[in-house]
Amino acid sequence: MIASVAGYPVDDHVRAVLDAMPTLVWVADADGAAIYLSRRWLEYTGLSAHDASGDGWTSAVHHDDIDRVTDYWRAVLASREPGEVNVRLRRFDGQYRPFLFCAAPFHHVSSGQARWCVTNIDIDHLLRSSGRQVHAIVDNIPALIAIHSRSGELEYSSRAAQESRGQDLDEMKQSPFNTVHPDDLPALIDTQQRSFTTGEPLEFELRLRRADGVYRWCHMRSVLVSDDYDGAARWYTVGTDIHDRKTAEDALRRSETFLLEVQRLSRTGGWRFDPATGVVESSPEIQRAYAVQPDEDFAHPPFWFDRIHPDDRPRVQALFEQCLHAKTEYRAGYRIVRRHSVSVRNRPSGDERCRPSRRVHRGIDGHDGALAGNHRARFRRRGTSRKRAQVALGRGQHSRSGSTLDRGRQGRIRQSPDPRVHGTDARGAETMGDG
């Protein structure tokens, strides 16, 4: 059966199909005039078929969109190609909602005339349908996720963010900064205002108070999406808990500071050589021991070997190469020569020791393990030889303990309160050759 709508024939079966579709549908002639509008379209807009026919459908379009939509509709008709555009349609209660206006050409089978099939898809309904899936995914991500308007007003926060703060979305909107650590708040506000003005990505670290009252470090990054699904601009923010990392970094810095102080007090330095890169890492104390100057390249082995006394250098260098090749412990004692005519005997804990830092193995990249070592330097400046005095004192003690004194001429050896000073009486001095 064929029915007539606005003077155009429309098959009853076609009408039944269009009326059963869960979207707003209407049919236009080759000139773009509406010749049939589905029951759902008429119910949604509250218009009658008579009022909506022809170009009457435009009365349901938002006044701010009417010129843009009609211009686009004429361009699509002229091109005879499918097209789509966003438009706001007025609902029967006067509320406007965003729709996707889609048009596609076809030919009527019976008459052979050109027609257009137009569908209006509720964007909000589409987003709600897909949004439920997106929210389910986002809410299961262990990160603090939020969406703000272009001016910074909170629009959405993930379940993880709400549970972390112990607040729902409305409470977070009312007091967006009450969980930020007071010491971090000024910098946060300044950074946000600068990004809101420039539109540049926002990235910072701050402490946030959890629901249990504990502050934890978080890394926040916000990116501005200029053309969102509805044409508006929004800030998308992702926050990651980095408290454990920050705590570990602080502990490492304290440990490094303590180690450097211990090296300074014990005059013990450390170094590490990586054969893969040929780079030497060294502590400040060993740099002081070797009198490293600002213009010297001490990141490579030649510097350190050049500082070794010429008489010791071949032996030490050969030993180092041997241990490096065999991946065994390296232990050596030698003298170094510094600038300003300072001679140093390098005796780390009696000797310099070094062992493979990754034990004896070859890495997956084919390079040998690095060597790490430490040393303790004893300084000997001209005219102030502490080492020479220690040797002389040791020889004197050995001579006194090993001498055989004549019983008849045995004298008394007096011990001074100062252990470094020894004395004898006259008889003792004569016996020991002092008289």
As a whole number, mean pLDDT of residues 68-88 equals 91
Q: Please give the pLDDT value at position 56.
A: 92
Among 44-53, 109-118, 329-338, name the most confident range. Answer: 44-53
Among 261-270, 284-293, 378-387, name the most confident range. Answer: 284-293
Q: CA–CA separation, 389 vs 226, rounded Å?
A: 80
CB 324 within 8 A of CB 371: yes
What is the residue-wise DSSP string for 148-176? EETTS-EEEE-HHHHHHHT--HHHHHH-T
pLDDT at 288 over 70: yes
Tokens of 164: 């972390």
As a whole number, mean pLDDT of residues 137-164 equals 85
Q: Please give the pLDDT value at position 61.
A: 93
Q: Please give the pLDDT value at position 294.
A: 86
Give the contacts of 254 (CB within 8 A, at least 6 positions apart).
none
Q: Please give the pLDDT value at position 325.
A: 86
Give 172-184 pLDDT, tens digit per residue: 988 889 899 999 9
Tokens of 362: 């070859």
Output the pTM of the full model: 0.44
Q: Please give the pLDDT value at position 114.
A: 83
Percent of the chain with pLDDT over 70: 70
Q: Please give the pLDDT value at position 212.
A: 92
Q: Please give the pLDDT value at position 369.
A: 44
CB 400 within 8 A of CB 422: yes
Domains, the chain: 2-127 (3.30.450.20), 139-241 (3.30.450.20), 263-380 (3.30.450.20), 386-431 (no CATH)
Which amino acid makes up residue 394?
G
Residue owning tokens 């009658």: 48
Count CB-CB contacts under 10 A for residue 275: 15
Q: Place 264 in a pLDDT band, splitting at 50, 70 and 90.
A: confident
Q: Which residue has the higher pLDDT, 60 or 425?
A: 60
Q: Place 400 in a pLDDT band, splitting at 50, 70 and 90.
A: low
Give 94-112 pLDDT, tens digit per residue: 999 888 889 989 876 666 6
As a whole number, mean pLDDT of residues 259-284 equals 83
Spell out where 58-158 has E strands.
83-90, 96-107, 114-122, 144-149, 154-157
Q: Place 231 in a pLDDT band, splitting at 50, 70 and 90.
A: confident
CA distances from 145 to 4, 139, 192, 222, 239 (A): 55, 9, 16, 10, 6
Q: 282: exposed, middle or buried (C-beta count within 10 Å: 0-12, 13-18, 19+)?
A: buried
Q: Place 395 in a pLDDT band, splitting at 50, 70 and 90.
A: low
Radius of gyration of the chain (CA): 44
Which amino acid makes up residue 336?
I
As a whole number, mean pLDDT of residues 364-386 equals 43
pLDDT at 153 over 60: yes
As a whole number, mean pLDDT of residues 284-298 equals 87
Q: Please give the pLDDT value at position 72.
A: 92
Which amino acid makes up residue 104?
A
As a whole number, mean pLDDT of residues 66-78 equals 92
CA distances from 38 to 9, 118, 237, 332 (A): 15, 10, 42, 95
Strand-pair category, 114-122 with 8-11: unpaired
Q: CA–CA separation, 300 vs 319, rounded Å?
A: 18
Among 29-43, 97-111, 255-269, name the most confident range. Answer: 29-43
Share the mean pLDDT of the chain: 75
CB 56 within 8 A of CB 79: no
Q: Please give the pLDDT value at position 232.
A: 82
Tokens of 25: 């549908």
Q: Which helix (H) or strand (E) holds 257?
A: helix 243-266
Q: Please give the pLDDT value at position 130.
A: 56
In the chain, the largest separation of any two C-alpha atoms, in whole Å, equals 154
Q: Please give the pLDDT value at position 390.
A: 57
Q: Place 415 in a pLDDT band, splitting at 50, 70 and 90.
A: very low
Q: 401: exposed, middle or buried (C-beta count within 10 Å: 0-12, 13-18, 19+)?
A: exposed
Q: CA–CA separation, 21 vs 422, rounded Å?
A: 116
Q: 79: exposed, middle or buried (C-beta count within 10 Å: 0-12, 13-18, 19+)?
A: exposed
Q: Please give the pLDDT value at position 106.
A: 84
Question: What DSSP character marks residue 184?
Answer: T
Q: How many residues in the chain?
A: 435
pLDDT at 33 over 50: yes
Q: CA–CA separation, 326 vs 201, rounded Å?
A: 52
Q: Place 432 in a pLDDT band, splitting at 50, 70 and 90.
A: very low
As a whole number, mean pLDDT of residues 58-79 equals 92
Q: Please give the pLDDT value at position 218.
A: 93
As a whole number, mean pLDDT of residues 130-142 equals 69
Q: Place 435 in a pLDDT band, splitting at 50, 70 and 90.
A: very low
Q: Which helix (H) or strand (E) holds 10?
A: strand 8-11
Percent of the chain with pLDDT over 90: 23
pLDDT at 276 over 80: yes
Q: Please give the pLDDT value at position 340.
A: 56
As a whole number, mean pLDDT of residues 404-418 equals 38
